[in-house]
Amino acid sequence: MIDIGFIGLGTMGRPMAAHLQAAGHKLFLHDVVPVAKELVDAGGVLCKSGKEVAEKSDVVIIMVPDTPHVEAVLFAQDGVAAGLSKGQIVVDMSSISPLATKEFAKKVEALGADYLDAPVSGGEVGAKAASLTIMVGGPERAFNTMKPVFDKMGKNVTLVGANGDGQTTKVANQIIVALTIEAVSEALLFASKAGADPALVRQALMGGFASSRILEVHGERMVKRNFEPGFRIELHQKDLNLALEGARALGISLPSTALAQQLFNSCTAHGGKAWDHSAMVRALEMMANHQVAQGRQ
C-alpha cells in the first residue's frame, strides 16, 4: 500500500484525503492551518513541513488554491523538493497555470521524481462523494502507479497528455462551466421577467436538448436563492484569468469567456467573491432590476 503525503486539506483536500485514509493508505499531512481532527484521529501523521512530508511518503499530493501556493509548497525553504528522493511521485491536484506547471515538472524531474498535474472537477460535492473528474498530465508510468489512488477519489480519470495538459483541460472545463452558468442565468432571468415560473421552466427544459448538469444543479440554486459556496466565484475568476492569459499568449480571442469574467467581477464588486459561482445570475439580475425566484413574478 502506497504511503501518501497530502498537503492542502481544505474544502476539497480534506474529503479527498479521507477517502484515501478509508482505503487503507497511511497519510502524512501538512497544511498552513490546523489539520482536521478526524484525519489525525484516523491515523494521519502531522508533519511540520513539505520537506518532512516528502521524506516520509512514497507519493506527495498537493491541493492548494493557486499557482503561487503550489510553487511555495514545492520550492520554498523546507518545501517538498527539499525532501524528494529518486522514484517518488509528486501529484498536483490544484487548478493552476499550465505554463507554470510545465516548469514545476521540469524542476521536480531534475531531482529524479515524476510529476503529474491532476486537477479535478466536481466541487465539494464530488470530493465528498469520491465522484470527481480527474484530468491528468504527465508520464504514463506515473499515471499507471497513481490510477488506483485516483480511483478512490474520482470516477472519471483520464490521462490526457504530457505535463501541463491536465491543467489545460481543467481551464477548458472552467470555460464551459462559466459560459453554461451564464446561459442558464440569462434563460431563467428571461423566463422570470416574462412572467413564467422559472422553477417550472427549468423543470421543462431538463427534459429537452437544453438539459445540462449546470441547469440541474445551478439552475435550482438560482431559483431557490442558495448561493452558499460549493465553488467560490473568486476561484472561478482565477481559472478564467488563466484562460484569458493563455489566450493572449496563444494569440486567440475568447470573447464569451471575457464576458463571463466581467459578470463575475460585478458580483465581486458587490461583495460576492465568496458566493457560489451560480450567483453569476445576480450580476444579470442587477442589470435587469429583476430577481429570479420560484413562483410567478
Q: For residue 45, how far is the Cα from the chain centroid?
A: 25
| Contact by Cβ (8 Å): 230, 123 | yes
Using the CB atoms, write b or e for 198-227: b if 16+ within 10 Å.
Answer: bbebbeebeeeeeebebbeebbbbbbeeeb
Q: Whole-prediction pTM value?
A: 0.91
Name the band, by pLDDT with cuts 50, 70 and 90, for residue 295.
low
190-239 per-position pLDDT tens digit: 999 999 999 999 999 999 999 999 999 999 999 999 999 888 999 999 99
Which residues of 142-279 form beta strands (DSSP E)? 154-161
* Secondary structure element (H or E) that encloses residue 174, with its range: helix 165-193
Of 278 and 230, the one with more pLDDT: 278
Q: Measuring CA to CA, which residue among 80, 93, 102 is closest to residue 28? A: 80
Active site (annotated) includes residue 107:
no
Contacts of 99 (CB under 8 A, 6+ apart): 164, 246, 249
Q: Going by DSSP bridges, is the β-strand pair 132-137/120-121 parallel, antiparallel, or unpaired?
A: antiparallel
Q: For residue 82, give Cα distances in angstroms to 57, 163, 268, 276.
A: 13, 21, 38, 37
* Residue 89 β-bridge partners: 59, 114
Contacts of 215 (CB under 8 A, 6+ apart): 180, 184, 202, 205, 206
Query: What is the reported pLDDT for 19?
Result: 98
| Selected catalytic residue, list 170, 193, 238, 273 | 170
Q: For residue 239, give Cα distances in angstroms to 152, 167, 192, 260.
A: 25, 10, 30, 12
231-271 per-position pLDDT tens digit: 899 999 999 999 999 999 999 999 999 999 999 999 999 99
Percent of the chain with pLDDT over 90: 95
Intra-chain end-to-end CA distance of the chain, in Å: 58
| Contact by Cβ (8 Å): 67, 96 | yes
140-198 per-position pLDDT tens digit: 999 999 999 999 999 999 999 999 999 999 999 999 999 999 999 999 999 999 999 99
Query: What is the reported pLDDT for 78?
Result: 96
Name the band, by pLDDT with cuts 50, 70 and 90, for residue 66.
very high
Residue-averaged pLDDT of the chain: 96
Query: What is the reported pLDDT for 297?
Result: 43
| Residue found by looking up cell 516528502 in the block | 54
Task: Return phi, psi of residue 26, to 5°.
Answer: -80, 130
* Secondary structure element (H or E) that encloses residue 59, with its range: strand 59-62
Task: Return phi, psi of residue 132, to 5°.
Answer: -65, 150
pLDDT at 32 over 50: yes
